[in-house]
Structure 1
Amino acid sequence: MTLLAIDHVQLAMPAGRESDARAFYAGILGLTEVAKPEDLARRGGCWFESAAVKVHLGVDPDFHAAAKAHPAFLVDDVKRLEMAAAQAGYRTAADAPLEGYERIHVYDPFGNRIELMQKVTP
């Protein structure tokens, strides 16, 4: 038995902040919101995806931001995303260099850390 792929990443969010999630995940990261299945929609939260990435935001009544654990997304223009996030008021942070990548961390509206990585050639 072998793991084949990650189907989606689930992040937590506080109740009632779906519009904030849309502004960040669709507005800044460029993901498309998709409808949740009817039996899950009543729980709140949002689902977003692109051709290769699926992010589910689920409401956690005891929400605490993921400040260390995080997804890392490959992107095609990390500087553009960093500028867009910063201009929209989202916190960004540099991290130690990682050979072969330009990368930053950006924090969603709830304080969850998201790593954005762009492959670079020497």
Structure 2
Amino acid sequence: MKDLEELTKSERKFYLSIPKGIENAITAKKLAVITGMNTRTLTAHANHLRRKGFPIGASHDSVNGGYYIITNAEELNVTVRTLEAYGRKQLQSAYALKKGWRNRHNRKEVKDNETTI
């Protein structure tokens, strides 16, 4: 397990407030009440701790959804699938934004050229 001493006080509070196992997952809303942090801070802490190698799981399941400490490969896979799906959606949005921008500016250039002829 990673050393908790390398965490900030806030990150340590977040980590120590998360239960072990997906069956004990805690919703962001409940975790916010327990820690006194807003949900954006919770998300930032979860992502930062993952990058440091801490096994922070997350599930969007309507029954057992929330944060948990990953305890096995199945729980790891649940979180990885969730993160990969989110990443794909973010990339799709980025590509669509760039495409829309290019199309808009290409139409503007055509329109500008038509008015100068």
TM over 0.5: no
TM-score (norm 2): 0.30
> Which protein has the bigger strand share?
1
TM-score (norm 1): 0.29
Structure 1 or 2, whichever has the larger Rg, is 2
